Amino acid sequence: GTQGPLKGRHALVTSGPTHEPIDPVRYIANRSSGKQGHAIAAALLQAGARVTLVSGPTHEPAPAGVTLVPIETAAEMMAACQAALPADVAVCAAAVADWRVATPSGQKIKKGAGGPPALALAENPDILATLSAVGPNRPALVVGFAAETEDVVAHAQAKRARKGCDWILANDVSPGTQAFGGDSNILHLITAEAASTWPRLSKPDIGTRLAGAIAAHFNKD
């Protein structure tokens, strides 16, 4: 959209899982529907921002009007995010694989007498931490997610500091909360100043509420 409180702002959103190849037909992935990241992209667009959505493979359609950059691996997601800068705000909602296979095989690995292959793993870049690092291209506002099973707010505050981001949206994913793959969530918004708990909201409503908080942040003075 071209009207709305985020008119003239560029928002970068990551969404979905990453796929890390083992060989040409196999990969390691994280569970992620992309529902929340895509809903955030739609809400930021609705609020008037120009939106770049860097997404791993999902079944979610890209909201009409966003610039979709489809990627598969964490390394590709990192490069696509850096290429999308500068941005006023970055929201990292992707479930990035923490590790990739260090040396993916160029050929399909055969089953056989040698037994199962040993996969050496290498650590992936932390996209949220990299975008949060101080530099000329750092978005003015960087938002990450945290999934916790206990001491949700305290752990999320520690994660905010560790990653160097501005805000963390923390959710309780302990068994029985139905956060994963569900359509609604209870989130805590952690900033440098405060922690506030949102009521249970649908993923689209979480997107709208986050876009509203972002718009209020940019329009506060």
CB of 11 to ligand C5P, least distance (A): 15
**Is 219 an annotated catalytic residue?**
no
Say how far apart CA 209 and CA 40 lie, in whole Å.
9
**Toward ligand C5P, which CB reaches closer, 48 or 90?**
90
Q: Residue 145 interacts with ligand C5P (CB under 6 A)?
A: yes
Say how far apart CA 21 and CA 24 lie, in whole Å.
7
CB of 78 to ligand C5P, least distance (A): 8
Q: Residue 128 interacts with ligand C5P (CB under 6 A)?
A: yes
CB of 127 to ligand C5P, least distance (A): 3
**Toward ligand C5P, which CB reaches closer, 89 or 93?**
93
Stretch near ligand C5P under the rule CB under 6 A, chosen from 65-73, 122-130, 150-158, 197-205: 122-130
Residues with Cβ within 8 Å of residue 113, at least 6 apart in sequence = none
Any known ligand binding at 109? no
- Which two three-digit tokens encode residue 136? 């000329």
- Per-residue contact string for residues 19-48; x = within reach of ligand C5P by CB under 6 A: ------------------------------
**How many residues can be counted in the chain?**
221
**Toward ligand C5P, which CB reaches closer, 57 or 117?**
57
CB of 142 to ligand C5P, least distance (A): 9
Q: Can you tell me which of 16, 56, 63, 144 binds ligand C5P, judged by CB under 6 A?
A: 144
As to burial, measured by CB atoms within 10 angstroms (0-12 exposed, 13-18 middle, 19+ buried), residue 79 is: middle
Q: Residue 92 interacts with ligand C5P (CB under 6 A)?
A: yes
